[in-house]
Chains A and B, each alone.
Chain A
């Protein structure tokens, strides 16, 4: 087999003036994983190469790195699947400061997890001798999110975190879903209120990177959508994200299409004067470039069919 170049990020903030990449050449044995390659490099070529690992079987979450720009678990990724033009580039995961080489500071990640109060809050007055009862189908509602191994791959590649360091992040959101949907927990309302606050669930842009990178069944984007569904169903509407959803529903139900003049106003809030003023520059820019929505709202053809769908689904819901 031909030689592959491993271009690996090296940086020791205490001792190096700046980060750099170092190349290591190696032949790939069939079936070798990226972690095996790192171990081989460390044992045979450069013992100073620093990275995290523990279980080697994709359950502890220690070994997440970025390969060719995307977060993966090094222990379970076949090295040959990563080769591009004879090279694999390895960097530390994103949205985290570097401690040394591929080892990053995960304190902000852990802090985000703690923020959602990730422990069961059961009914304190009910203390059965044996187990609390729960149906298998109720267990299935939290089955996905309980597979999370806290590897921070989702956090690494989250696009919102890149621009908003206060965003709670996909892992915390998946963790929040685990308790919101656990039928043994009695703080659903409070949890939904807290997660709907600014920098919470409604700040997710649905880019999907978290689910794409997630190595387990946790798939945060799916969990985020479940939180939003629960929030809407429980009437947690006093935030712009929920109001945006309501604006969609209202205007599509009325006109068969999104009324893009009404929606932002409804989302921001009719009485939210500072928010409304904040919309003005955007509106003016759109007008100037001829991109503003039609001033006079109209309905689509056959809008009655849309209204029919709505009223039938209302009946179904009841």
Chain B
């Protein structure tokens, strides 16, 4: 058993920022199933939003708040949004002082650019790899604090130990040896990221399988707003890799299989630069109605040819390289196949403005359990997230979680943990996976789940298809009970772990579908063809999914509104 004051699971921006806040004050451990520099925070490109007013002098925190509330389609909790936008400048100045490199203005200040949904230029950026710059800065600080923060890399957390409403630790596997250990802490923070891998086409890392949210759910914590999955319009076909919005900003066209610039039908004034959810839906509509491109008519095209070789290589080098390296498509001579890609998870573990996790919709909290970053749902993004607000959320709430944990941990006594029983419970789950009289192919179950989620619970939803999706997920959950795990070795058994990850995805996918079936409206990223309008009278509330003996139960939590009443969301 490993004992530390604070256990942090996840080494992305949120987890590392919290660890830094606690370093030197408490005994902190960070567990990650990868290596800290590999966390998916590093894949973010666009930038991190803050009302610094370095470029647009008229920008203000109030404007940032309004843009975020509106962007959330009014489902975001406004008090939390106020905190995030108010803390934003401090968070950026802090990370710059820690050494984060930023592109600079002519006044030598942090440069900021325009981004979708933001009414001023407030996206602070480091070339075209802002997430990478932020993550590596925190990783550097982690190395600086190596005597004060204990890092357990390639340890896979499999269970949250929670009893009588008190979080007490986790059970994790040392991937290298297969050994299971209990990590006991006074307070636990999850910064475990998103859950896009349940989808066939996703920008998310293979690692983003919702292990943290599922562990919380299985321990009795509800999950909130799971049905809100953001689809980014320009993901590389069949890979889902993000092609930055800059491609459209520089003048790229979106074409269907007939060579038409189809956005004229959906957003005639903004065309390719409409908001993300609208463009994604337009693309999906074209594909669904048989006007897709390619042999299977299952993608649309990003056409940059008219921009010319020089402009492409100077302004869009990363996109050019991605098209070429991953799909063999040379953007100078051919249009690049793209499709909407599952990009961000608005849903997750419900938490208050100091990241303390809620036990229910009435405001009761779990003692000693915190959640920050993409795995949390506070909710600052509501039904739809604005670009550049995710890196911000991770930094701001990682810091807040750290500060609150410092205060709370000092006042917390140790709660008992039955080490033997915890290890046994996880061991028997794993043994079942290894020893079952198995016949089902793991890859097939996984592929079928991903297909179902992408085509039946994706950009466009309707009651009939969601019902079919629900049936399919239940069938896959049954088949999963007989899944084959042929690799029986203890050391570095990625076959066993991918089976385990699939069990997580099958469990939370059901909640995405359930939430979508119940929510009879369209709001933000959740679009129902059979309920195409927003229904504030009945649905201005958060969905909370609770695990029950026989399945699940959905309850609802009101949205906190402070300044802005819902308006029609037009751009």
Contact = CB atoms under 8 A, between A and B. Distances in A.
A134 interface: yes
B108 A133 contact: yes
Interface in A139-180: 139, 142-143, 146-147, 149-150
Interface string B102-131: 111111111100000000000000110100
B448 interface: no
B489 A59 contact: no
A31 B38 contact: no
B104 A60 contact: no
Contacts, number: 163
A302 interface: no
A150 B140 CA distance: 12
Given A31-B327, A44-B443, A54 B143 contact: no
B442 interface: yes
Interface stretch (B80-88, B93-101, B366-374): B93-101
A131 B91 CA distance: 11
Given A47-B495, A62-B38, A149-B132, A139 B140 contact: no
B132 A59 contact: yes
B93 A129 contact: yes
B143 A61 contact: no
Nearest to B38: A60
Given A44-B443, A135-B108, A142-B101, A59 B43 contact: yes
Contacts of B102: 131, 134, 139
B99 A150 contact: no
A14 interface: yes
Given A122-B99, A131-B97, A60 B42 contact: yes
Given A57-B322, A131-B97, A131-B110, A114 B487 contact: no
A136 B104 contact: yes
B241 A57 contact: yes
A28 B382 CA distance: 43
Which applies to chain B's interface (DSSP): helix, strand, loop or mixed? Answer: loop
A176 to B, nearest CB: 12
B128 to A, nearest CB: 10
B480 to A, nearest CB: 15
Residue in A50, A57, A76, A122 with the greatest tally of chain B CB atoms within 10 Å = A57
Given A57-B322, A139-B102, A99 B492 contact: yes
Given A14-B491, A48-B489, A57-B322, A130 B93 contact: yes
B109 A99 contact: no
Contacts of B96: 131-132
Contacts of B328: 30-31, 78
25 contacts: A42-B495, A43-B442, A43-B443, A55-B42, A55-B206, A60-B37, A60-B38, A60-B39, A60-B40, A62-B34, A99-B491, A100-B491, A100-B492, A119-B143, A120-B140, A130-B89, A130-B109, A131-B92, A133-B107, A134-B102, A136-B105, A136-B108, A136-B111, A138-B104, A185-B99
Interface of A: 12, 14-15, 30-31, 33, 42-44, 47-48, 50-51, 53-62, 75-78, 99-100, 103, 106, 113-114, 117-120, 122, 127-136, 138-139, 142-143, 146-147, 149-150, 182, 184-185
